Amino acid sequence: MENQTFQIERNRIVLYSSEGRLLAEITFPEQPDGTVSINHTFVDDSLRGKGIAGQLVQKTAELLRSDGRKACPTCSYAVKWFEKNPGYNDILL
């Protein structure tokens, strides 16, 4: 799947199949202090190993940066992604 079209929704980014089936998702609910918790990533088995989860975290980081918001990753994948991509540490709490 080369040309993914991610849909940005309120506090989540998703990828659906042409049939409307959820293929990938990241959620980042807003916290009372205005920050977000990156708390969940999901990638369907059919897309595993294609870098989709990393793309989701990166798109989330870029979105939060453009909005001037800060994040606390609690999803284990997101925590590891930020460790490997310190260029996005400016959005972390």
| Number of independent structural domains in the chain | 1
- pLDDT tens, 69-86? 999 999 999 999 999 999
How far apart CA 73 and CA 60 sit, in angstroms, is 11
For residue 16, give both structure tokens.
């659906």
Structure confidence by residue, pLDDT tens digits, 11-35: 999 999 999 999 999 999 999 999 9
**Alpha carbon distance 42, 53 (integer Å):** 7
The enclosing domain of 44 has a CATH number of: 3.40.630.30
- Is the pTM higher than 0.85? The answer reads yes
Question: Looking at the domain assignment, is residue 87 inside a domain?
Answer: yes
Contact 37, 12 (CB under 8 A): no
- The answer to whether 92 touches 81, Cβ cutoff 8 Å, is no
| Alpha helices, DSSP H, located in the chain | 52-67, 76-84
> What residue numbers bound the domain in which 27 lies?
7-91
Residue 2 lies in a domain: no
In a domain, 1, yes or no: no
Domain presence at residue 14: yes
